[in-house]
Copies of this chain bind each other. A is one copy, B any other.
Amino acid sequence: MHKIGIADTTFSRVDMYKIAKKTLKDNLEGVKLVRYTVPGIKDLPVAAKKLFAEGCEIVMALGMPGGKPIDKICAHEASQGLIQTQLLTNKHIIEVFIYLYETKNEKELFQVVKNRTEKHALNAIALLKGRETLSKYAGMGKRQGFQDIGQIKSQ
């Protein structure tokens, strides 16, 4: 049985946990989810670290940075913290961040959030299975939130 941590925020404008939960439950039998909700993305690194302390094998860190310049710096700080957390724990954290400026309207934004969260939930499952599970997709120009961009071969 696998134990997966999910850290999410109240700042986010979409219930990303719900999306991640459905994909994980549908694709990994008997998975146990442990949730940790924090105010914003800068609170995610320590939440992830605490989820690992509770025995999670991998953590999904879900967040939606705001649309102002300062929010990019916040996301940068959060990302640095998430990488540090991985190095301290030797475990993967799948960061799923969607910026409020990435789309033209709310409908499209919801679709990007849904698509990115679902694809990254599958990535999390793949990483749990082993370090070469994703190798068949290596160099394929995979994208989360948008369509895959494809591979460039020798010409």
> Chain A: residues with CB nearer than 8 A to chain B?
8-18, 34-39, 42-43, 45-47, 49-50, 53, 70, 72-74, 76-88, 90-92, 94-95, 99, 106-107, 109-110, 113-114, 120, 123, 127, 131-135, 137-144, 149-155
Report whether A135 and B35 are in contact in the complex, using a CB–CB cutoff of 8 Å: yes
Query: CB-nearest residue of chain B relative to A153?
Result: B110
Q: How far is the CA of A106 from the CA of B16 in the complex (A)?
A: 35
How often does this chain occur in the complex, in copies?
Answer: 5
Tell me if A74 and B79 are in contact (CB < 8 A): yes
How far is A109 from B149 in the complex, measured between Cα atoms in Å? 14
Q: Is the CB of A138 within 8 A of B9?
A: yes
| 7 intermolecular pairs with C-beta atoms under 8 Å apart | A10-B137, A10-B139, A13-B140, A13-B149, A39-B94, A73-B79, A85-B87
Residues of B within 8 A of A50 (CB): 90, 131
Q: What separation, in Å, do the CA atoms of A8 and B138 have in the docked complex?
A: 7
Q: Is the pair B79, A17 in contact by a Cβ cutoff of 8 Å?
A: no
